[in-house]
Structure 1
C-alpha cells in the first residue's frame, strides 16, 4: 500500500446512505413482525397484526418528530415534550373520571368520543399556555418549559392523591391506562391519528430548511430573516398536536422520544432536519416494532412494551445528564 494512502481517513457514509440503511432495517423488522409465526394462517393472522403495526408506526413517528422539533426550538438535547405535562394531564383526566364516576363509565364510553375529548383537552391546555406566555410579552422559552414542568408536577400530585381514594378494584382498571398499550387499539382511532400525523408531517417537510436555521438560535435565525417567535409558536403547536393524538391513542410514553432523538443524532452524521427527522422516525419504528416482536415472538412474555421503553429511555436520560455534567466540568 502506498504510504500516502495509508494515512487517509476512512470514508464516512453519506447521510442519505445512512437513512437508506436504517429504512431497510425498519422494513425487515416490519416484515418479521407481520409474517413470523403465522403457522400457515397468514391470511387470518396478518390482517390482525396490521392494525397494531400501523399504531406502532404512527406513535413512533409522531413522538420522534415532536421530540426532535421540540429540542430544535429549545436548543437542548435532553428535553422532551413530556416536560410540558401532556402525559400527566392524560393520567389526571383518567383518574378524575374514575374518581368522580366509575371505571365502568370510562370503559363504556365510545372510544372515538374519548379520543376526541382527550386530544382536545390536551391541545387546549398547550395552546392556552403558549398564548398566555407569548401574548404577555414574556417571550422566554425557558419560562414556558418551567411553567409546563410546574403544571406537570401539579397534575401528577392531584392524580396521586385521588388514586389513594379510589376503590382498589377500580384502581386496577385505572392502572392499566397509566401505561401505553398497543394491544387494544381501536381501528377508527388509528386511521384518524394517521390523517393528523400525515398532515403534520407534510407541514414539517415544507419547512425543513427553516428548522435548520431555528436550530442556530434566536439571534442568528433573526439575522438570517426568520421570524423566530412566529416559527417557534408554529413548531410548538405542531408538537402539541402530535403528542396529544399519540397519547390519546395509546397512552403516555415519557422518555421514548428522548431515546430515539438521541439515536437519530448519533446515526445521522449531520444536524440537517432533512436527515435527522426521518432517521428519528425510522429509529422509533425499529424500537417499537422490534421491541414488540422480541417480547411476543422471542421471549414470549406479556410485559407491556412501554414499561421496557420507559426503563431504557430513563437510563438514557440519566446518561445524558451525567455526560453533560462531565463536559461542563471539563
Structure 2
C-alpha cells in the first residue's frame, strides 16, 4: 500500500469545509424529520420550540399538541437515530482502518450477530431480570462478549492477524446465526413477532430513556475514536512499517476492536440490526475526504447521523400510515451500492481474476 500523501493547503481547507457542510446537512435533515409526520409542524416552529427550551424566545411556537408531538415522539426518535447512525458509521470507519480494507464493516468480527443473539436469547427464553431494559442489556452484552471472544480465539503467538480475525468472525457469525435460527424456531407467536421486529431494525419505539441509555456509551466511543486517527494512518502503511514508526499494533487493534464493539453493540441494542450503514457511509465519505482518519472519522459520524435520520424519515413516510422496517430499507439501498463498490474496487485492482 502506498504511503499517505502529505497534507496540502487544499487538503487543510477541504476538511473544515466538508465538516461544516455535513453539519449543515445534518441540521437540515433533523429539522425536516422533526417537522414531517402525521401531525405536521413547520420547521421554523420546530426551531422556535428548541430555542424556547434553552431560554431564547423567538419566532412562533407550535400549538400544545405540536409541542407534545415534538418533545415526546419526534425529538427522541431523531436524537436516537443520530446516535445510532453516528455510532455505526464511526465504527465502520475504524473497522476499515483496522483491517486496511474499505469494504470492511462492524459485522465482520461478529459484533452485530453477537448482539442479535443476546437479544433473541433474552426474548425467546423469557428473561426479564432488568425489566424493560433486559433485551437492550442482553444485546449489548452479547455483542461485546462475542467480539472479545473473536479476538481471543484469533490470537496466536501473542498476535492477532487480520486474516485470522476475519475467518474467526465468519465462523462466529455462522454459529450465532444457527443459534438465532434455533431460538426463533422454538419461540411462540408473541416471541416470534418480537424477534422478527427486532431483527428488521427500527427506531420507532424511541423514548428519552432509550436515548439516555445509549448516549453515554455512544459518546464515549465517538469521543475516543478521533484520538487514534494518526496511528490508523500509520497502520495503513502496513504492520511492520507501523511498528518501526512506534505504533503498538496489537494494542491498537485490541483497543479499536473494543471501541467498535461498544459503538456497534450500543446501536444494535436500541435499534436492532441496521445493515450497511457501517459499510457504505464511511466508504462514501472516504471517496470525498480521502484516506486520512483525522477527517474521515468525524465526517463519517456526521454523515452516518444524517443518513440514518433521513432513512428513518423515509421508512415512516413512504408507506404511511404503515412503517417500513428501517433495517430492510437500508439493506435495499445499501446492497446495490455495495455491489457497485465491490465492482469498482476489483476493477481498480486489475479485474475480477
In the TM superposition, what is the alpha-carbon distance from 1:14 to its structure 2 partner?
1.8
> What are the residue-to-residue correspondences of 1:142-291 with 2, within 5 Å?
142-268=163-289, 270-291=290-311
- In structure 2, what is the Cα distance between the partners aligned to 1:162 and 1:203? 36
1:45 pairs with one of 69, 74, 83: 69
User: Whose RCO is larger (CA < 8 A, sep 6+)?
Assistant: 1
- In structure 1, what is the Cα distance between the partners aligned to 2:145 and 2:92? 20
In the TM superposition, what is the alpha-carbon distance from 1:253 to its structure 2 partner?
1.8
RMSD between superposed Cα atoms in Å = 2.4
- In structure 1, what is the Cα distance between the partners aligned to 2:181 and 2:284? 33
Partner of 2:22 in structure 1?
Answer: 22
Does structure 2 retain, via aligned residues, the 8 Å contact 1:267–1:279?
A: no
Does structure 1 retain, via aligned residues, the 8 Å contact 2:94–2:225?
A: no
Partner of 1:128 in structure 2?
Answer: 149
Unaligned runs of 5+ in 1: 1-10
Structure 1 pair 227/184, CA: closer, same or farther in 2 (3 Å)?
same
1:314 aligns with 2:339: no
Does structure 2 retain, via aligned residues, the 8 Å contact 1:57–1:289?
A: yes
Query: How many residues get paired?
Result: 315
Q: Secondary structure at the match of 2:275?
A: coil
Partner of 1:6 in structure 2?
Answer: none
In the TM superposition, what is the alpha-carbon distance from 1:65 to its structure 2 partner?
0.8
Q: Secondary structure at the match of 2:197?
A: helix
Unaligned runs of 5+ in 2: 1-9, 43-61
Partner of 1:74 in structure 2?
Answer: 99
- In structure 2, what is the Cα distance between the partners aligned to 1:259 and 1:321? 11
Partner of 1:8 in structure 2?
Answer: none
Q: Secondary structure at the match of 1:321?
A: helix
> Normalised by the size of structure 1, how large is the TM-score?
0.86
1:64 aligns with 2:89: yes
Does structure 2 retain, via aligned residues, the 8 Å contact 1:65–1:280?
A: yes
Q: Secondary structure at the match of 1:76?
A: coil
Structure 1 pair 81/128, CA: closer, same or farther in 2 (3 Å)?
same
- In structure 2, what is the Cα distance between the partners aligned to 1:166 and 1:63? 29
> Normalised by the size of structure 2, how large is the TM-score?
0.81
Give deviations 1:238-285, integer Å, cap 9, x for gaps.
1111111111111112322111111111221x2221211122112112
In the TM superposition, what is the alpha-carbon distance from 1:15 to its structure 2 partner?
2.6
Does structure 2 retain, via aligned residues, the 8 Å contact 1:64–1:261?
A: yes
- In structure 1, what is the Cα distance between the partners aligned to 2:311 and 2:272? 17
Does structure 2 retain, via aligned residues, the 8 Å contact 1:15–1:275?
A: yes
1:54 aligns with 2:79: yes
| Moved >6 Å (runs of 4+) | none
Give deviations 1:10-30, integer Å, cap 9, x for gaps.
x89723212211211111111
> What are the residue-to-residue correspondences of 1:287-306 with 2, within 5 Å?
287-297=307-317, 300=320, 301-306=322-327
